[in-house]
Structure 1
Amino acid sequence: METSILVVDPQKLGNITFTETKTDLIEEWNIEYAEGKDYQSLKRAAEEIVNTDTPVAFPTETVYGLGADATRSSAVKAIFAAKGRPSDNPLIVHVHSLSQLRELLSDKGVLQTGNDPIPAIYRPLIERFWPGPLTIILPVPENTTLAPEVTAGLLTFGARMPRSILALSLLRLCGRPLAGPSANASTRPSPTAAEHVYDDLQGRIHTIVDGGPCEVGVESTVVDGLSSPPSILRPGGVTVEQLRQCPGWENVTVGYKDKQEGGASKPRAPGMKYRHYSPKAEVVLFEAGATKPGKEEVTRKRRVGIIRTESWKPALGLTGGSTTVTDTNGQTNGTSRPHATPSIPTDAPSRLSNLLRSVIQHQIPHAQRHTLDSSDTDVWDIDLGAETEAVARGLFSALRELDKKGVEVIFVEGIDDTTGDDIAAAVMNRLRKAAEIRV
């Protein structure tokens, strides 16, 4: 099938309006769409979700997702087919409002007056972190409207409300909760730009909604408040310390491992069992403080990739004054443009308006080519910088870019994840799952 990329500028979608509430919950929002190409493109994507089983790729603030109607088995099965995803790996359900989530949690979607089906343990997290990069584990109702493929046979499912206004608007337009794993081929690095999706899924899906580069760059934090004490099943954009500031979450524990758990048991959340985030090249991860690779190690291969963060020098200082060629990376489809939002009234509730006004100015990482003296080795070098947020945003792009260069091995300088910075923990969690060798 032919795959089309629909560029949608969120600033041209229309105007967001809010209803004042004490909790500033996202269900109290609306958007007045402005007629034009951007609205029509998003509407076309929504209609495809409603009228076909083929999933649609769309941007969120974390990574690009592959969305299909979470209540229709044939549509959810198409997600697994497009990704080549194991059927026992559960999917996260995306919603645009708490009312939509309550319908999912109610018997056959019928709400009971005066009875909130959302467990009270999650109320503090919803008020503080939604919309945003947090997924909560919820019980599957006895007569659920969710397709059974979403839960992979579990009695629970994960749900989140994305912060991207494009994602929220797509959810509103199609009127369906969307099962939405990352929009990549299974085991590959997660996509943070539209061309990453195209590289993996060209010919497998019809439509990619291009909203520019993702803001966070790593997937959502997954938490289980149904266990005692509550636990974190996957690190992501919300930190342990932030969670522990919420009532009922003071003693939240870490319930994940930084490697594939394997075995016959079903994973409780995405990313817990199978190899993830892996490029085609071999990945060698050097933990923070480890001795960097030397020239002998580097020159064992003809084409080598390096991803560095804090202390490594360009090309590990091995070039000896040779010429460095800057590669332009050939990025297209507008992924270097800012990620922005539609116009928002200045008197809108402050928490939500600040979240939705988020503007990210960054570009896809570029690689530099170095030819080592007295060897036949070409080194492609990417510097992500020392800021943890920048490393998170650029990590998956860097892995993918080095794959495009045809490198045989990628040496990665890890970052310190022992300081309590959970974005660093999320980065290292992904790298440890991608790495074949850890030093």
Structure 2
Amino acid sequence: MSATDHHDASAPSSVYQPYTNCKTHIVDLRWLGLPETATDEQYRAIYQQHVSRPEGAQLQAAIESIKYGLAPPVAFPSETVYGLGHSAASTPGVTSIFATKGRPSDNPLIVHASSIAHLERLINGPISHRYEALVKKYWPGPLTILLPVPERLIFSTKVHPGQDTIAFRVPSSKYARFFIAATDLPIAGPSANSSGKPSPTTAQHVFDDLNGKINFILDGGPCDVGVESTVVDGLHDPPLILRPGGVSLAELRALGGHWSQTSIGYKPHVTRSNTSIPNGTDANTPDSNNDTHALDLNGAPRAPGMKYRHYAPNAKLVLFSQNAVLAGRVRERFEDVRRHDQNINIGIITRRWPRFADLAPAIPDALSGNRSSRNSQATNAPSGDVAIAELPTQSRKHSIFLHEVNLGPDVGRLAHELFFILRKFDDLRCDYIFAEMVEPEIEKADETVVDAVIDRIEKASAERIDE
């Protein structure tokens, strides 16, 4: 695979190629019995205790490959998604991240610290006072902040290409903080997947994407949040959300002070109605909302997730608005697909729709379970049982299967399981995925994850049917 796969021709790329023929090991961290809260010194002491035992050999090899600058990167769990980590101070290490993912070289990385004390040691001083209320409430957690590039130039310039700021985060996952503390380094860590694909929320997802390209996957079980962190620029006036995530606009404004003026600094992604968008294009369109202060993206993006299309499954994801559903457009689109191909697998994400979106009039043979033939290399699959309906065809040579995951109306559950389900439908070799749009006026929920889910599902989609 070249470093430019999954991107449009205009996306900058690295000349470096990913590692190949690696023997990829999954190292389970759950047997360590880590405390939920601990200091960096306590995590390092636990690490030293466990690597002195024979069963700690692979963990030690993983940590030392980072400490001593040996590529390729190491995949690690966090509360949001699995990350692909290497030392942010090592240009070869950071380069190996871009090469392994096939990530555009102008797409900046988030640098992870194990604690606020660790971060302040890295930047050689206190965090800007503008972030005081924010980090007090949301760190450790799914929040990333932009800080000026420190005068002490310890970070590779590839972490912040063309930018005078660096994005930093202190994760809440005990496994992530343990990993970072054990290395005692700043860890640059985007999501541990091939660029453009759904983010990984289990170690198995990482293995599916990066087997043979990395040596180690640290397994902490399924991620709690399921979508990436909110990225905030508090140095701007007004403060800007550059990527929606686990902390919402309403929550930031509720902090008061200058945060009460927080605005949207990204262009909300909207897939054009009834049109297909090829993977790798930038299909963002400006939003007319007065809360939006979208930044010019003609140059390098200021934060991850701002410029390039992400999260796309192999299947063609088609989103339907509530009006389109009421107008019978789901059935209409299904019949259009059926006319062109008599061998079809369609995944359906049901939240408010009837069973199988009313595409299967009778379901005598609905089955439960995942028909994926892949051999599992990890033992951490979330929920999301798949019901299967086979529709009658005119020939035994043809088959039409509908695969349904029923999540219910809770948008929080959709946030937690979206990437997992997209990958599951790819496992089932679905050609299409039909799903409801996430429409804020319908959700009747606070904005905690609504903006983030809209951003992710719209970016993953290839077609949108509005009415």
**TM-score after normalising by structure 2:** 0.79
Q: Which amino acid aligns with 1:50?
A: K
Counterparts of 1:17 and 1:219, CA distance in 2: 21
Aligned residue for 2:106? Answer: 88
Aligned residue for 2:156? Answer: 147
Cα deviation, 1:277-329, whole Å, max 9, x if unaligned, reads 00112111123553151041452443233332421122222222242232335
2:380 is the alignment partner of 1:336: yes
**Does the 8 Å contact 2:324/2:330 carry over to 1?**
no
Q: How many residues align?
A: 398
2:330 is paired with a residue whose SS is coil
Counterparts of 1:214 and 1:38, CA distance in 2: 24
Q: 2:400 aligns with which of 367, 373, 377?
A: 377
Which 10-residue stretch deviates more, 165-174 or 413-422? 413-422
Counterparts of 2:222 and 2:83, CA distance in 1: 13
**Does the 8 Å contact 1:7/1:333 carry over to 2?**
no
**Does the 8 Å contact 2:87/2:94 carry over to 1?**
yes
Aligned residue for 2:330? Answer: 293
2:430 is the alignment partner of 1:407: yes
Structure 1 residues 57, 98: CA separation in 2 closer, same or farther (over 3 Å shift)?
A: same
Q: How large is the RMSD of aligned CA atoms in angstroms?
A: 2.4
Q: Which amino acid aligns with 1:82?
A: T
Alignment of 1:37-116 (within 5 A): 40-51=57-68, 52-106=70-124, 111=125, 116=126
2:292 is the alignment partner of 1:266: no
Aligned residue for 1:167? Answer: 176
Alignment of 1:11-410 (within 5 A): 12-15=32-35, 32-33=45-46, 35=50, 40-51=57-68, 52-106=70-124, 111=125, 116=126, 118-247=127-256, 248-259=258-269, 260=282, 261=284, 264-291=298-325, 293-294=330-331, 295-297=334-336, 299-300=338-339, 301=341, 302-322=343-363, 323-329=365-371, 332-336=376-380, 363-374=382-393, 376-410=399-433
Unaligned runs of 5+ in 2: 1-20, 270-281, 285-295
How much has 1:16 moved relative to structure 2?
Answer: 6.2
Structure 1 residues 335, 312: CA separation in 2 closer, same or farther (over 3 Å shift)?
A: farther
Structure 1 residues 141, 170: CA separation in 2 closer, same or farther (over 3 Å shift)?
A: same
Cα deviation, 1:210-244, whole Å, max 9, x if unaligned, reads 11111000000011101001011111111122211
Aligned residue for 1:2? Answer: 22
Structure 1 residues 307, 401: CA separation in 2 closer, same or farther (over 3 Å shift)?
A: same
Q: 1:431 aligns with which of 457, 461, 465?
A: 457
**Does the 8 Å contact 1:327/1:368 carry over to 2?**
yes
**Does the 8 Å contact 1:15/1:31 carry over to 2?**
no
Aligned residue for 1:352? Answer: none
Cα deviation, 1:58-102, whole Å, max 9, x if unaligned, reads 110000000000001000000000000000000000001222212
Q: Which amino acid aligns with 2:198?
A: P
Structure 1 residues 74, 251: CA separation in 2 closer, same or farther (over 3 Å shift)?
A: same
Counterparts of 1:305 and 1:6, CA distance in 2: 32
**Does the 8 Å contact 2:37/2:174 carry over to 1?**
no
Counterparts of 2:54 and 2:438, CA distance in 1: 42
How much has 1:30 moved relative to structure 2?
Answer: 5.1
1:411 is paired with a residue whose SS is strand
Structure 1 residues 161, 39: CA separation in 2 closer, same or farther (over 3 Å shift)?
A: farther
Counterparts of 1:398 and 1:91, CA distance in 2: 26
Counterparts of 2:454 and 2:371, CA distance in 1: 25
2:260 is paired with a residue whose SS is coil
**Does the 8 Å contact 1:8/1:41 carry over to 2?**
no
1:66 is paired with a residue whose SS is strand
**Does the 8 Å contact 2:72/2:96 carry over to 1?**
yes
Structure 1 residues 226, 201: CA separation in 2 closer, same or farther (over 3 Å shift)?
A: same
Counterparts of 2:63 and 2:29, CA distance in 1: 16
Counterparts of 1:414 and 1:39, CA distance in 2: 46
1:377 is paired with a residue whose SS is strand
Structure 1 residues 310, 289: CA separation in 2 closer, same or farther (over 3 Å shift)?
A: farther
Counterparts of 1:59 and 1:428, CA distance in 2: 24
How much has 1:175 moved relative to structure 2?
Answer: 0.8
Q: Which amino acid aligns with 2:148?
A: P
Counterparts of 1:364 and 1:17, CA distance in 2: 27
Counterparts of 1:170 and 1:136, CA distance in 2: 21
**Does the 8 Å contact 2:348/2:357 carry over to 1?**
no
**Does the 8 Å contact 1:12/1:38 carry over to 2?**
no
Cα deviation, 1:398-417, whole Å, max 9, x if unaligned, reads 11111122222211122333
**Does the 8 Å contact 2:348/2:433 carry over to 1?**
yes
Counterparts of 2:248 and 2:350, CA distance in 1: 21
How much has 1:144 moved relative to structure 2?
Answer: 1.8
Q: Which amino acid aligns with 2:356?
A: A
Cα deviation, 1:384-429, whole Å, max 9, x if unaligned, reads 2322221111111111111122222211122333454231211111
How much has 1:169 moved relative to structure 2?
Answer: 0.4
Counterparts of 1:30 and 1:235, CA distance in 2: 30
**Does the 8 Å contact 1:319/1:373 carry over to 2?**
no
Counterparts of 1:325 and 1:378, CA distance in 2: 11
Cα deviation, 1:130-169, whole Å, max 9, x if unaligned, reads 1100000111123421000000121111100111111100
